[in-house]
Amino acid sequence: MKFGIVINISRERALVLARELAEWLEARGVDYLFEALSAEHLHIDNSAPIEELAEHCDAFISLGGDGTLLFTSHYAVTKPVIGVNVGYLGFLTEFTQAEMFAAIEMVLNGSYSIHTRSQLEATICIDHQMQHLRALNDVVIEKGAYPRIPTFIIKLDGELLSSYRADGIIIATSTGSTAYSMSAGGPIIAPKSSVFVITPICPHMLTVRPIVISDDKMIEVSVDAPDGSFPLNCDGTLKKMLLPHESITVRKSPVVINLVANESRNFSEILRTKLLWGREHDFGQ
C-alpha cells in the first residue's frame, strides 16, 4: 500500500501534521509520496507531480479543509481518499486530526468502508475542442464583471425549464448542496441522494426558487446577453469565460469519488456540529 499525500500549505498546522504523518508512515515501513508542492514546503524528497500520484499510489490522504479534499479528489479519481480536517467548517473531511492515524490503519488492514459520491460532468467547447469537466460540488455560471443582470436560460432534457434573471446559476450535487448552493439559499440534501439542485444566485424575481431534479436529467445552460463574458467555475476553479448564447451541458459523471468513511459519525451529527443546530443556549437564549 502506497499513500499519496496532499496538504494545504497555507496552514501551519497542516505542515506540522504532515511531518508527523511522514514519521509515522516511515516507522511502519509504509510507502508514501507527497504532492510536489507540498513536499517542497516540507523539504521532503518523496514526491511526484499531482497529475502522476494516482499512477503510483493506492490511496490518498488530504490534510486541510474541504477545498483541499476537492483538489485531491480530482486527481485521486476512483482511489480511496482519507479527508483529515485541518480547516474550519468542513462537510467533506470525515476525520479529525486526532482520528487520522486510526483512519490510516483502517485502510492498511482493509477494514474501512467507502462513501461513494457522484460528480457532475460539464461539457463545453474550449479551444475548438469539446471538453468534459468534472466537479464534485458544483458547476457555477456567474455574471462576473458584467454591469447588468443577464438572463440564464435553462433546459432539462432539451425542454425549457425557465429563463432566470439573476447574478448566476449554481448546479450542485447532493455533496455540494452544503457548499456555495447553501450559502445562496439552496436546500441541504443528504449525501447519496440521486438528485441535483439548481440554485439561482440573487434572482431578480422573488418567485424564482431553487429546484431539485433527478440526477438522470441533462441540464443545458446558456446566457442571454447582448455582450460580455461570464465565468464558468467547476468546484471554484475558473474553466472558461462563456460568451453570450454559448451553451454548456451538465449531467451526472460516470466517474465517482470514493471517500473513506468515518463510521463513528453520521450526517445528522455533522449538521448539528457544523451548523450549531440545537445549541440555542450558546447565543444567550
Closest CA to 48 of 5, 84, 7: 5
CA distances (Å), 156 to each of 80, 215, 242, in order? 33, 11, 20
C-alpha cell at 96: 479529525
Instruction: Return phi, psi of residue 100, to 5°.
Output: -60, -50
- Which of 45, 58, 66, 216 is catalytic? The answer is 66
Strands 219-224 and 248-252: antiparallel
Instruction: Return the DSSP state at 233.
Output: E
Half-sphere exposure of 79 (CA within 13 A, CB side): 26
Instruction: Give the separation between CA 41 and CA 281, rounded to whole angstroms.
Output: 43
Scored b (16 or more CB within 10 A) or e, 213-242 reads: eeeebebbbbbebeebbbbbbbbeeebbeb
CB 42 within 8 Å of CB 11? no
Active-site residue 216, yes or no?
no
Classify each residue of 172-188 as buried b or exposed e, where b means 16 or more C-beta atoms within 10 Å of its C-beta. Answer: bbbbbbbbbbbebebbe
Residue keyed to cell 446566457: 223
Three-state SS annotation for 104-117? HHHHHCCCCCEEEE
Distance between CA 172 and CA 180 in Å, rounded?
Answer: 8
Give catalytic residues, as residue numbers.
66
